[in-house]
Chain A
Amino acid sequence: MSAIGRADLPVRSAGTQSQWQGTLLAATLCLPALLPLLVIATALISPETSVWSHLAQHVLPDVVANTVKLVIGVALIAGTLGTSLAWFTTMYDFPGRRWLEWALLLPLAIPAYVLAFVAIGFLDYAGPLQTALRSVFGSSAWFPPIRSTGGAILVLSLALYPYVYLLARSAFLTQGRRVLEVAQTLGHTRRAAIWRVSLPMAKPWIAGGVALVCMETLADFGAVSIFNYNTFTTAIYRAWFGMFSVHAALELSAVLLIFVFVALYLERRSRSGLRFANSRDMTREPPRFALSGPARWLTAGYALVVFLLAFFLPLLQLIWWTIQRAAQDLDARYWEFAMHSIVLAASASLVIVAASLTLAYLLRRPHTRFVKAAVRTATLGYAVPGTVLAVGILFPLVIVNNTLQDAMRVVWGSSAPVILLQSTLLAVLLAYMARFLAVGFNPVESGLERVTHSIDEAAVGMGVSGARLVRKVHVPLLKTSLTTAAILVFVDVMKEMPITLITRPFGWDTLAVRVFNMTSIGEWERAALPALAIVLVGLVPAAMLVRGNRHVA
């Protein structure tokens, strides 16, 4: 045992008092995620019968059918796109493979709602494509309608396939091409080996990716509302703003959460299958398989088409619209939207990184089961749709506000100041924290894992301890992780639509809200400028991901 006193190590010492502080801290930080879940669970347990029967009769059948169709369709198509592209780029060589390999990740920068309005603006009856078709053929009635279930499925699949691509790719890279050779020496053809070995081995990763896609599809509000496709999220929004029925919103949220937890369960279960990542000697990895002439070009063409449809063409269209309308739209109001977005994103990343760091330190020192459970709950929000969190945060906030107001009236009488907690930035930030804590927590936690206890002991051995240890050793070591966390949260908040829409204080329109407002009146061109800004910011984390992935390849 080292001669260093335990008390010198700030992160390891845990007296009874600091245990209590830790418990309290963890409990407080998990509240934003826990509160909405509790509120909604209450709505599920004791529903308002009249509201419930209305929903069950007039809303749910449609919404459930639509949601199920959408989720299954997107899971199938995004799963197929992601898995097949990952397969081709890891196993074969084809023209353009080197840059397509990472370019196929770029669609992560385009939010689904942006892709949705670009697709509609371009492909709808009044769009340039059908107009051109009519001028050539006289009619475009045969053109499949883009505002349809199929259209919504296609757009969400193109926006979300990178999740599957990313995970399947890392699966195929770790299992390597060697397993196919093994199967061949055992008398299986390579084609058979794909189905018998490679895909089954990659199943946990693919399933994890598809589960994420399902969660994102369930959470999507922007794209489906542009498509006028009625799902849970749009129904909740309408219940909240249109019908002003809190209970309808809460009860719809509760049913949606059941779907979400099925997806979450699948994702968690697939993760437990990831245990067999055996280390292999990458230097002896067999070379990429050669493709015959036509197959090479077909593969290259397929990957290129996906890239063009999911990223390049939409970006081009956005730029084109922006150029057309910039002179008109680039006014003082636009800078105000941008400023609102930046202020919200920056304060959310500050709050979330601080909370993540606190939770990560709580986990690093000896901790109780309660703390562990609290951290898990706090980071659960990534699975919960933004509309649900927004409603689940606002409802209790209104109750707290009214109770406080009543208390103040009792004390000060009619001269008591009027408070409206629910229409302050507090509500927005709490909901963001619930939704994006996991985004910030994961990089911070894995960063802190690299600061081993022996590093602490070495520092203490040299007389550096306490706050100085944190400042001089931990912060420099954590700098990259903290920056990554801050950037990821910042960009996610910039892109976020439903929480901002529902919880923002009056007049606090952001870029995403502007996109919503313009698209809801069909002004696609005028939505392009704020959308382009969001996409450009989104390219930052996409580029970081690309860089990280290049080292692996």
Chain B
Amino acid sequence: MWLELQDVARSFGSHRAVDGLSLQLARGSIGCLLGPSGCGKTTALRCIAGFEPVDRGSIRAHDRLLAQPGLALSPSERQIGMVFQDYALFPHVTALENVAFGLHRLPGPSRKRRAEEMLATVGLGDSGAKYPHQLSGGQQQRVALARALAPEPELVLLDEPFSSLDIELRERLSAEVRAVLKSLNTTALLVTHDQQEAFAVADVVGVMNQGRLEQWDAPYELYHRPASRFVADFIGQGVFIAGEIVGGNSVQTEVGVMHANGSGTWERGTAVDLLLRPDDVIHDDESTFKAEVCQRAFRGAEFLYTLKLPSGARLLSLVPSHHNHAVGEKIGIRIEPDHVVAFEKK
């Protein structure tokens, strides 16, 4: 494995910022640590970069031991590039000199050539002579990426790389950054609290909560097969409705019997909560199940309806926007889950 974290822990006083983090990243793949603020993802990144020591566990890159308790390679020896949240470009030198900054081991001419090459790779070939304050936010971001990539690091870390950009630019740039990383076959680990960003850039995403990694998986799996209630809640939209195991993996709910997949081995009669995503709830006039519209949000191509079931439980449903129903109306629904995910009731 290219990057390997084993049971890494880091505490500040009594606060366990990172608590038993293990993950593996293959060469050329892009990983992401996703989680709410304060979940420990930035601390994890700083441990990998070498700005924080580890209290427990080990970090290896390319089979080289980077850190374990009592041992920490200095950041300058790790060959790990980093893109900072505020870019942290050096304001007193040009974009080109920023990119060339990490190329101090190359002789002068090839250094300049390499820096120019990197700027061209991120689409800023003609902005080398400009100073950071003359560049837009998005351009500064790309210079920061070029600077981190120029010394051909073994791994690139990106700390909330898009958070200071506006939403439109964020989407475009995240696609661009992924393309650049992939074209250079760079191994990268990104940290963010924004799942759209995580899904747009990363091959594999880890959801962190209170210092622990809840699940390390492909985005699709995170969405459809969340391993914990926290992941189910944090990723995507959805609601839980109450149900009861009626044998095997079958769950009886107020909207019908469903078959939970996975290795669920629950006893008959166990009370569970079933995750239903808005796209699992299909609007169907023919259906016998009726639910009352109690809120609607128009999203252009579709409506997101909040529906009330007879028991008072709520459901979310994504419906094509030509089905225009007023609040208070009762509409027919059908549950068609691809993946039924259930968690035992607490």
Residues of A that sit less than 8 Å from B by CB:
178-179, 181-190, 196-197, 200-201, 203, 273, 275-276, 278, 280-281, 284, 286
Q: Which residues of B contact A273 (CB under 8 A)?
A: 92
Q: Are the C-beta atoms of B75 and A178 separated by less than 8 Å?
A: no
Seed contacts A185-B148, A281-B86; 6 additional CB < 8 Å A-B pairs:
A181-B84, A182-B90, A183-B101, A185-B75, A188-B102, A284-B86
Chain B, 92-113, contact with A by CB distance < 8 Å: what is the 0/1 string? 1000000001101100000000
Q: Please, which residue of chain B has its CB at the minimum distance from the CB of A280?
A: B86
Complex CA gap A186/B102 in Å reads 4
The 5 closest A-B pairs by CB, nearest first: A186-B102, A276-B91, A184-B75, A185-B82, A184-B76
Is B90 a contact partner of A186 (Cβ separation < 8 A)? no
Return B264 CB to nearest CB of chain A, in Å.
42
Nearest A residue to B133, CB-CB: A276
Q: Using a CB-CB cutoff of 8 Å, which residues 58-98 of chain B contact chain A?
A: 74-76, 79-82, 84-86, 88, 90-92
Bound-state CA distance A185–B147 (Å) is 10
Residues from chain A with Cβ under 8 Å of B80 in the complex: 185
- Asked if B51 is at the interface (CB within 8 A of a chain A CB), the reply is yes
**Beta-carbon contact of A186 and B91 below 8 Å:** no
Given A185-B49, A186-B102, A187-B102, decide whether A276 and B81 contact each other with a Cβ distance below 8 A: no
Say yes or no: B81 contacts A185, CB within 8 Å.
yes
Residues of A within 8 A of B161 (CB): none
Measured CB to CB, the closest approach of chain A to B268, in angstroms, equals 52
- Which chain A residues border B88 with CB–CB below 8 Å? 178-179, 181-182
B132: chain A residues within 8 A (beta carbon): 276, 278
Residue contact B85 to A281, C-beta cutoff 8 Å: yes
Assess whether A187 is in contact with B76, with CB atoms less than 8 Å apart: yes
Can you report 14 residue pairs joining A to B where beta carbons are below 8 Å apart?
Answer: A179-B90, A181-B51, A181-B88, A183-B101, A185-B82, A185-B157, A186-B81, A187-B76, A187-B104, A189-B74, A190-B76, A275-B133, A281-B85, A286-B46
B77: nearest chain-A partner, CB-CB: A187
Contacting pair B85 A276 (CB below 8 A): no
Cβ contacts under 8 Å, B148 to chain A: 185-186
Q: In whole angstroms, how far apart are the Cα atoms of A203 and B176 in the complex?
A: 36
B50: Cβ under 8 A from any A Cβ? yes
Cα separation A201 to B104 with both chains bound (whole Å): 18
Instruction: Collect the chain A residues with CB atoms within 8 Å of residue B238's CB.
Output: none
The verdict on B131 contacting chain A, using a C-beta distance below 8 Å, is yes
B219 interfacial contact with A, CB 8 Å = no
Please give the distance in Å from B129's CB to the nearest CB on chain A.
16
Is B151 at the interface (CB under 8 A from chain A)? Answer: yes
Q: Which residue of B lies closest to A184 (CB)?
A: B75
Bound state CA distance, A449 and B147, in angstroms?
39
Q: How far is the CA of A188 from the CA of B79 in the complex (A)?
A: 10
> How near does chain A come to B141, taking the closest CB pair, in angstroms?
14
Minimal Cβ-Cβ distance residue in A for B81: A185
Give A289's nearest chain B residue, CB to CB.
B51
Chain A proximity of B217: nearest CB distance (Å): 28
Chain A hits for B76, CB < 8 A = 183-190
Of A189, A190, A197, A278, which is in contact with the most chain B CB atoms at under 10 Å from its CB? A278
Interface hits, B28-63 → A, CB 8 Å: 46, 49-51
A278 touches B91 (CB 8 A): yes
Q: Please give me the residue from chain A that is nearest to B157 by CB atom.
A: A185
Q: Chain A residue with minimal CB distance to B51?
A: A181
CA distance A190 to B75 in the complex (A): 9
Q: Chain A residues near B147 (CB, 8 Å)?
A: 186
Residue among B81, B86, B132, B133 having the largest count of chain A Cβ atoms under 10 Å: B86
**Contact, CB under 8 Å: B79 / A201:** no
Bound complex: CA of A183 vs CA of B147, how far in Å?
A: 10
Name the residue of chain A whose CB is nearest to the CB of B102: A186
Instruction: Check if A286 sits within 8 Å of B92, measured CB to CB.
Output: no
Contact A187:B79 (CB < 8 A) given known A197-B90, A201-B92: yes
How near does chain A come to B14, taking the closest CB pair, in angstroms? 17
Return B342 CB to nearest CB of chain A, in Å.
39
Complex interface: chain B residues within 8 A of A201 (CB)? 90-92
Instruction: Decide if A278 touches B92 in the complex (CB within 8 Å).
Output: no
Cα–Cα distance between A440 and B151 once the two chains are bound (Å): 52
Q: How far is the CB of B172 from chain A (nearest CB, A)?
A: 23
Cβ contact within 8 Å between A188 and B104? yes
Q: Which residue of B lies closest to A204 (CB)?
A: B92
Residues of chain B within 8 A of A280, CB atoms compared: 86
A273 to B157, CA, bound (A): 32
User: A284 contacts which chain B residues (CB < 8 A)?
Assistant: 85-86
| Cα-based distance from A185 to B84 in the complex (angstroms) | 10
Q: Which of B46, B85, B91, B151 has a CB less than 8 Å from the CB of A187?
A: B151
A278 to B75, CA, bound (A): 25
B 307-325 to A, binary, CB cutoff 8 A, 1 in contact else 0: 0000000000000000000
Instruction: Mark each residue of chain B from 134 to 160: 1 if its CB lies under 8 Å from any CB of chain A, else 0.
Output: 000000000000011001010001000
Residues of B close to A186: CB separation below 8 A: 76, 81, 101-102, 147-148, 151
A167 → chain B closest CB, angstroms: 16
> Which B residues are CB-close (under 8 A) to A196?
101
* Residues of A contacting B157 in the complex (Cβ-Cβ under 8 angstroms): 185
Question: A186 vs B101: C-alpha distance in the bound complex, in angstroms?
Answer: 7
Given that A185-B49, A197-B90, A278-B91 are contacting pairs, would A178 and B104 also be in contact in the complex, using a CB cutoff of 8 Å?
A: no
Instruction: Verify B75–A181 contact, CB threshold 8 A.
Output: yes
